[in-house]
Amino acid sequence: MESRLRALVTGLAVLLLASGCASLEPRDDRPANPPSAPAAKGPLAEWITPRVDASPGKSGFRLLDDGVEAFQWRAFSARKAEDRLSIQYYIWRNDAAGRALLGELLRAADRGVNVSVLLDDIDARGRDDILAAVDQHPNIDIRLFNPFRTRHGMLGKGLEFLTRGVQLNRRMHNKAWVVDGHLAIIGGRNIGDEYFEASPEYNFADLDVAIVGPMAAEVEASFHDFWNSQGAIGIQRVVSRLPDPPRLQEHREALQEWLSTQNDHPLLQKAPAGRLPPGHIDDDEAYVWTAAADFVADPPAKALDTAGFDPERDGGVTPALRARFSGVRNELRIITPYFVPQRRGTRELIEMAERGVRVSVLTNSLASNDVVFTHSGYSRRRPALLQGGVELHELRPTALPNGEERARRWGLGSSQTSLHTKAFVIDGHEAFVGSYNLDPRSAYSNTESGVFLREPALVGQVVDLHERIIQPEFAYRVELDAEDNLIWSDDQGRTWRRDPKAGHMRQILSDLTILFPVESLL
């Protein structure tokens, strides 16, 4: 009976996928579309070129820990685009932030700017109509990375996972917003209200880096590696039916009508045309200028299951982080929303602590974690980590540094908070900010990117961020009592013996997940 059922499911999957298999096979006849030199004209070029000529090799960096500012930096930089926009994201929501930034891309394209958008299909699936319609704009090109062949329905998606699960499990997790090859924004944020502190339900404490100068071109070169890879498929080849030509105008009119009703939306209200954001995009004083930085990114092959590819040998981010972690002497600060160290990582962190290294980890509590199942990969390692001398801090679900002040200032956002920042500080002299979680997916399956910063002013900002959030006002301190039982404490002197404020269902789901051999998939 089991074998018959298995054969039936496999047969259904094959039939379901048959029509899409041929059309989505990678092709080698696409134009290479190599990255261009940074634009020679336009507002950004006119500002940055003399600055770079005066300080060869230096780029400008600005940490964006304020969600509204991070939104504004994207919106206003798009308005300054003269030649091209290169956009790469794991998630792009169809909400206020997503629609508003889509509107910025359309307006840029209307001005003659070439807009290239590469989205991972993990989130894009189900929005084929609007994506294919926008792709009809002569100056917009949309591609999906590692697309599903079934475009609708959970059944089809589930059946496809049965036949292509290994390949579909590998995703493009990079995030990049590049303007004219002169300005780039990378880091932890996807595009959606919750990433910009604008969701009424919950918001992420997240971190980006705005980069101007030569390193922005490095980010764009990485974008083109993915854009030209065999995993990037044009949206017109993915959709089951091409939209009628009028659909672009219909979506444009619907977007304009929606925007006309959003005059009171705080996120959009703070970025009107003609006004500058809190830190001026084209102001030298908005950035820290240094050559002491390195951009690092995984190659597309990591997510394409290329034969012979070893993430620890051939990847970009994992080997770079491992090399730095292995050389830690005094202190390692870790900020990661999804902390799944597994047996090997747990052992290595404990060995650091035993050598006298202060290892301080900030991650989500069970109550603040937006992906409950991943918490099990961390919770099972907590006792060993604490016994080994590793500090553990878990973000409180209602705590966001400066959150109340920001809410008053911008008039938006929820008090429910989840950590989404990915940052590490090595011995107080080098910091990493990017898209990389300390979990098996980032290490072995997903492609990631980030920047290593060695300029003291920038490293100090990441240290301050970590130090600020681990305070008991914002994070629980997790420790062991005299009997080696877990205990959580906060700034009010309150203590808990179970994950605080998580609720029974979250606790049950997390505990049940521990029973299954899925740690390597978390």
pLDDT at 17: 44
pLDDT at 367: 93
Following DSSP, what letter does each residue of 289-334 receive, concatenated? EES-EEEEE--GGGGTT-TT--HHHH-SHHHHHHHHHHT--SEEEE
pLDDT at 415: 65
Query: What are the extents of the domains in the chain?
Result: 44-286, 293-521
Q: Which two tokens stand for residue 2?
A: 């089991």
Question: Is the whole model's pTM more than 0.85, yes or no?
Answer: yes
Neighbours of 492 (CB within 10 A): 8
pLDDT at 20: 45
Catalytic residue among 58, 80, 175, 182: 175
Q: Is the pLDDT of residue 2 over 50?
A: no
> Is residue 270 annotated as part of the catalytic site, yes or no?
no
Lowest mean pLDDT across 194-198, 303-307, 345-349, 408-412:
408-412
pLDDT at 30: 53
Could you tell me the pLDDT band of residue 407, with boundaries at 50, 70 and 90? very low
What confidence tens digit (pLDDT) does each residue in 205-233 have? 999 999 999 999 999 999 999 999 999 99
Task: Kindly report the average pLDDT of the chain as a whole number.
Answer: 87
> In the chain, what are the helix, strand and coil shares in percent, each to the nearest 5?
40, 20, 40
310-339 burial by CB neighbour count: b if 16+ within 10 A, else e? Answer: ebeeebbbbbbbeebbeebeebbbbbbbbb
Pick the more confident residue, 510 or 427.
427
Catalytic residue among 58, 393, 422, 466: 422
pLDDT at 176: 99
Could you tell me the pLDDT band of residue 409, with boundaries at 50, 70 and 90? very low
For residues 317-344, give the mean pLDDT: 97
Q: Phi-psi category of 174—alpha, beta or left, where left has phi over 0 and alpha has psi -120 to 50?
A: beta
d(CA 247, CA 426): 51
What secondary structure letter does DSSP report for 446? S
pLDDT at 131: 93
Pick the more confident residue, 165 or 305.
165
d(CA 280, CA 285): 8
Matching CATH number, 293-521, of 1.10.1740.10, 3.30.870.10, 2.40.50.140, 3.30.300.20? 3.30.870.10
Q: Is the pLDDT of residue 13 over 80?
A: no
Could you tell me the pLDDT band of residue 274, with boundaries at 50, 70 and 90? very low
Lowest mean pLDDT across 111-115, 120-124, 300-304, 505-509:
505-509
Q: Which two tokens stand for residue 149?
A: 């062949």
pLDDT at 188: 98
pLDDT at 307: 74
pLDDT at 16: 44
Pick the more confident residue, 158 or 252.
252
pLDDT at 460: 98
Helix (H) or strand (E) holding 344: helix 342-354
**Is 400 strand, coil or helix?**
coil
Catalytic residue among 80, 173, 302, 466: 173
Superfamily of domain 44-286 in the CATH hierarchy: Endonuclease Chain A (3.30.870.10)
What confidence tens digit (pLDDT) does each residue in 188-207 have? 999 999 999 888 888 999 99
> Is residue 58 annotated as part of the catalytic site, yes or no?
no
> Is residue 422 annotated as part of the catalytic site, yes or no?
yes
What confidence tens digit (pLDDT) does each residue in 16-70 have? 444 444 345 554 445 556 678 899 999 999 999 999 898 899 999 999 999 989 9
Catalytic residue among 427, 490, 491, 511: 427
d(CA 199, CA 79): 24
What confidence tens digit (pLDDT) does each residue in 352-397 have? 999 999 999 999 999 999 988 899 999 999 999 999 999 999 999 9
Residues in CB range of 134: below 8 A, 6 or more apart: 102, 105, 106, 140, 142, 248, 251
Catalytic residue among 58, 182, 420, 466: 420
Beta-bridge mates of residue 102: none
Pick the more confident residue, 333 or 401.
333
What confidence tens digit (pLDDT) does each residue in 447-480 have? 999 999 999 999 999 999 999 999 999 999 999 9
Q: Is the pLDDT of residue 515 over 50?
A: yes
pLDDT at 219: 98
> Is residue 375 annotated as part of the catalytic site, yes or no?
no
d(CA 499, CA 510): 11
> Is residue 420 annotated as part of the catalytic site, yes or no?
yes
Could you tell me the pLDDT band of residue 246, with boundaries at 50, 70 and 90? confident
Catalytic residue among 65, 180, 282, 298: 180
> Is residue 427 annotated as part of the catalytic site, yes or no?
yes
Same fold yes or no, 44-286 and 293-521: yes
